[in-house]
Structure 1
Amino acid sequence: MRVAVADVGTNSSHLLIAEVRGEGGEPRVLDALKDRTRLGECLDAAGNLTPEGERRLREALTRFRDLAGAAGVAEVQVYATSALREAPNGPEVAARVGAEVGVYPVIISGEREGELTYLGAAHSVEFGTDNVLLDLGGGSLEFVRGGPERASDVLSLPLGAIRMTRAHLHSDPPRGGEVRAVRETVQAALRPHLERFRPGPDTRVILSSGTAEAAATLLAARGDEGPERVNGLSFTVAELGAALERVRSLPAARRARLPGLERRADTVVAGFAVLHAALEELGAQTFTVSEGALREGMLIEELERTAAYVSGLSPRQRSVLATAERFGANLGHARQVAALSRDLLAGLEAAGESFPPEARSLLTAAAGLHEVGQIVAQSSHHKHSAYLIRHAGLRGFSPREIELIAQLARYHRKSPPKPSHPEFMALPPADRALVSRLAAVLRVADGLDRSHAGQTRVRHLGRDAGGWTLGVEGATPLDREGMEAKADLWTREFGPLRLAVAEPVILGA
């Protein structure tokens, strides 16, 4: 199994493509790409992302999509952090770029970012029973406390390296008073939260981010050469303070010649100052650098989700999964549509709608295979899906069940079932009714993951005199549009469907 994940930050965006072979196998990185999008410099006076920033984002995601596709990965899971999170037009830009590129950047909260970064770091360096992680980005600084693998407390503060550079460092090299202003800003922001993150005698303090790696490279360098890897290297806070004084005294052109600072010379003084001030304020003495961060955490979480999904499958649903993999289907989207379909079906049954016992299994299988036809062509892929399902050799299903699954996939998009469709009309009346009703569910579920972001959750489905109300959360604007566009068959079979979206749109807040 192969997966692709990417994070879009204030300064740069990163793609990671990995493969896992066999259950419980360790992920093997197949490819990685860093794009210096520098969205932080593409904000107008109101904080909105400019057209130039949108262009950079679009081009980065296009490269990510193409590289993942060349590696045989159908979809890239993308999380966007501070730059899009804080831009008033961030959700609008994300929806527009996602629709154009086919890769939707999901905007996550600082707390969610911290949790995933902690997960990635915990799989990169050895964590103890109590750990405090500092992750510095261009726009924000996350503090995370937790155990050997999972975070228990997360704080996100607007203290990123780009933000602090713009706010306080106006000279080259920066004046002492400017650096003090950065330190005082950090101290003031952190002081109310000190007790939450103050390390104890046995606490491990971990730093992650490009700035932390740059500091480790500079501190571990021998002459003009830095080490190839800095993961797991430890240093004292005093050593970081000395590195700060060294870079502060140099103009940007000379800083750029130092090991590890070649592409970070303009923000490294603020970055080092933020980290040093935070560590001193916390009372830390030493720290360890982790190369694992947000995207590694995303990768681990995605693999864990898939493993949990696979472990709960019946033998015949495992056959569905194997078929989907064989035809290169987007497994994350298939899993999400299957989950949404089951939730919608359960809501219908709870409201009094009757379905045969086999309905859930047929619907789950169709959700898993509804897009396999894209291996033939995007155009009319619903028809290609039906053909492939009929001839894929699915194990554990009777010929009748395979035909029903094929027709459900056939009707997940475009035209609903019609009397002019010979294959549909060849079914017995009871099976025609079942296909129409389950296809109505599948179409809505597929629409609710139109962005392929995998974030929509069904909260309730209720019926009244005016029809149905579907309450969801986490839906992107594109998901909302997708559901509304695909509710036609639901309306025909069950009655009008209204969507009620619970905020937040920014996930994990």
Structure 2
Amino acid sequence: MRVAVADVGTNSSHLLIAQSRPRVEGGDTPGDSLGYRVLDALKDRTRLGECLDPQGHLTPEGEDRLAGALTSFRTLSQAAGVPELRVYATSALREAPNGAEVARRAHERTGVYPAVISGEREGELTYLGAAHSVDFGPDNVLLDLGGGSLELARGGPEAAADVLSLPLGAIRMRRAWLGHDPPTRAELRALGDAVRAALIPHVSRFAARPGTRMVLSSGTAEAAAALLAAGEGAAPGSVNGLPVSTADLGALLDRLRGLSAARRARLPELGGRADTIVAGLGVLHAALEALGVAGATVSEGALREGMLIEELGRHAAFAAGLSARQRSVLEVAERFGANLAHARQVAALAQDLLARLAAAGESFPPEAHSLLTAAAGLHEVGQIVAQSAHHKHAAYLIRHAGLRGFTPRETELVAQLARYHRRSAPKASHPEYAALPPADRSLVSRLAAVLRVADGLDRSHAGGARLSGLRRQEGGWTLEVGGATPLDLVGAREKADLWAREFGPLSFQGLT
């Protein structure tokens, strides 16, 4: 399985394309032990932090930069044979008052939706990426510095248990505290004081304990490690796993502070960070001192690696739980290049909706779950023929795909469910639908109603929507949804027409 993920930050955006592979313990490269092999990567220095108006709104120039990056990422991922590109946006869009609108317009322009995630979610995923890049022990503290925010995460070998996001990013702090080129000592002291003041209420949560492993994950930390290694006569191809002492970082900070931005730009190790390196190092050094840390390990694994690992893990768990005939569905979906991540999410939402309807008193035959799951997995296979009318193409392909374990009647029902996942609802004027026995017509219409809502709830293809409750009340139903993007909620409302016909009006309550 191939996966493409990207993160959109305040300073830069990154794409990662990888192929899943069997885990190889003790391998020579990070990918050997992570269960994937990197096929391609691309970095776009979008600098969205430079494109904010006085009220913090992302400007049209910023939207153009974002659209350009997303277009490049999508082009590269499609060339690699990956139908789905999952994109998470962090501080720049998260804090912009128009961030949700920017994400919507970006989707309209590029076909890619940058889902805006919380600082806590960002910290969890970055911790996951770092945990698979360097050796984590029983107690670890990760500091991940971006352009707009600093995430701190504490946890065990695999997952974070406590995450904090603070507005202490390198670009933000440079603008707030460093007004001269080169910065003055007084400015740098003021920046450090601001960092320490912000951390004081949280020191007990993230301070070093006996045996704690401190880890730094950021472009700033990588650049600093490369500079320190170069100063010792080394030129490592990778800085992953290199230790850096707090004292050495402080000395490097003092050295770089005395250089103008133009002189810093001549240092190849900075990789385009000449204007933010002093602020970034100032934040990291002050944070390590506040936490009582003598040194830390640099991790090249970050948010996008965490996204990748999570996506591969979800697919592996999904595939492992399939029955023999559902594995046949997965094989057909893969053969026709379906978006497996979206199919998996829609299947999970559809199954949950069906179970909640049944718990509320709606009656379905025993076969309903299997038929709905198969249709959810295959509802978009028709896109291999054409985007236009792909629901009709999907029905044709399903009928002739040779699904194993399904009777001819069941195959026809799955085909019709996929046909009605969008556009027109089932009608007596549709020949294939009219040819079904009355009980099967009712089953197709009711299950298609569920499938349409489930598909709408992943309109963004961000895979974040989760159902929290379904209540029947006078006048209809209310569905409580957590983790959905604004686009997901719009998509579900637009596709609730058949649900209203079959079960009654459906309203949505988005939960944060």
Counterpart for residue 397 of structure 1? 406
Could you tell me the TM-score, scaled by structure 1's length?
0.96
| Superposition deviation, residue 464 in structure 1 | 2.4
Counterpart for residue 169 of structure 2? 160
RMSD: 1.5
1:294 aligned residue (284, 287, 303): 303
Identity %: 73
**Aligned AA for 1:346?**
A
Residue correspondence of structure 1 range 348-387 to structure 2 within 5 A = 348-387=357-396
| Superposition deviation, residue 222 in structure 1 | 5.3
Counterpart for residue 504 of structure 2? 495
Stretches of 4+ moved more than 6 A in 1? none
Could you report, residue by residue, the CA deviation over 1:66-113 in whole angstroms, capped at 9, with x for unpaired residues?
Answer: 111111111111111111111111112112212332211111111111
Unaligned segments of structure 1, at least 5 residues: 505-509
1:122 aligned residue (126, 131, 139): 131
For the 8 Å contact 1:224–1:258, the answer to whether it is kept is no
Counterpart for residue 17 of structure 1? 17
| Superposition deviation, residue 359 in structure 1 | 0.3
Q: Distance in 1 between the 2:209 and 2:21 partners? A: 40
The answer to whether 1:79 aligns with 2:88 is: yes
Q: Distance in 2 between the 1:470 and 1:147 partners? A: 35
2:147 aligned residue (133, 138, 141): 138
For the 8 Å contact 1:366–1:408, the answer to whether it is kept is yes
The answer to whether 1:242 aligns with 2:251 is: yes
- Structure 1 range deviating more: 94-103 or 279-288: 94-103
| Superposition deviation, residue 12 in structure 1 | 0.3
Q: Distance in 1 between the 2:143 and 2:22 partners? A: 34
| Superposition deviation, residue 459 in structure 1 | 1.6
For the 8 Å contact 2:23–2:35, the answer to whether it is kept is no
| Superposition deviation, residue 259 in structure 1 | 3.3
Counterpart for residue 200 of structure 1? 209
| Superposition deviation, residue 482 in structure 1 | 1.2
| Superposition deviation, residue 223 in structure 1 | 8.3
SS across alignment from 2:227 = helix
Could you report, residue by residue, the CA deviation over 1:234-268 in whole angstroms, capped at 9, with x for unpaired residues?
Answer: 12111111111111111011101113114000011
For the 8 Å contact 1:225–1:259, the answer to whether it is kept is no
Q: Distance in 2 between the 1:23 and 1:386 partners? A: 37
2:449 aligned residue (428, 440, 461): 440
Q: Distance in 1 between the 2:354 and 2:136 partners? A: 43
Q: Distance in 2 between the 1:416 and 1:255 partners? A: 63
Q: Distance in 2 between the 1:409 and 1:177 partners? A: 65
For the 8 Å contact 1:255–1:262, the answer to whether it is kept is no
Residue correspondence of structure 1 range 69-468 to structure 2 within 5 A = 69-221=78-230, 226-468=235-477
Could you report, residue by residue, the CA deviation over 1:269-300 in whole angstroms, capped at 9, with x for unpaired residues?
Answer: 11111111111121111211100011001111
For the 8 Å contact 1:234–1:286, the answer to whether it is kept is yes
SS across alignment from 1:500 = strand
For the 8 Å contact 1:94–1:106, the answer to whether it is kept is yes
Q: Distance in 2 between the 1:156 and 1:92 partners? A: 23
Could you tell me the TM-score, scaled by structure 2's length?
0.96
| Superposition deviation, residue 458 in structure 1 | 1.5
Counterpart for residue 31 of structure 1? 40
Aligned residues: 503
For the 8 Å contact 2:22–2:36, the answer to whether it is kept is no
SS across alignment from 1:138 = coil
Q: Distance in 1 between the 2:467 and 2:206 partners? A: 35
For the 8 Å contact 1:226–1:260, the answer to whether it is kept is no
Q: Distance in 2 between the 1:241 and 1:92 partners? A: 41
Q: Distance in 2 between the 1:203 and 1:463 partners? A: 50
Q: Distance in 2 between the 1:144 and 1:479 partners? A: 29
Q: Indicate how the Cα distance of structure 1 residues 493 and 262 shifts in structure 2: closer, same or farther if over 3 A, else same.
A: closer
The answer to whether 1:58 aligns with 2:67 is: yes
SS across alignment from 1:288 = strand
**Aligned AA for 1:86?**
E
Q: Distance in 2 between the 1:487 and 1:236 partners? A: 57
**Aligned AA for 1:459?**
S
Counterpart for residue 51 of structure 2? 42
Q: Distance in 1 between the 2:21 and 2:211 partners? A: 37
Could you report, residue by residue, the CA deviation over 1:216-244 in whole angstroms, capped at 9, with x for unpaired residues?
Answer: 11001158984321111112111111111
Q: Distance in 1 between the 2:200 and 2:473 partners? A: 52
Unaligned segments of structure 2, at least 5 residues: 25-33
Tell me which of the two structures has the higher relative contact order, counting C-alpha pairs closer than 8 angstroms and 6 or more residues apart.
Answer: 1
**Aligned AA for 1:13?**
S
Q: Distance in 1 between the 2:234 and 2:22 partners? A: 39
Q: Indicate how the Cα distance of structure 1 residues 337 and 23 shifts in structure 2: closer, same or farther if over 3 A, else same.
A: farther
Q: Distance in 1 between the 2:212 and 2:359 partners? A: 49
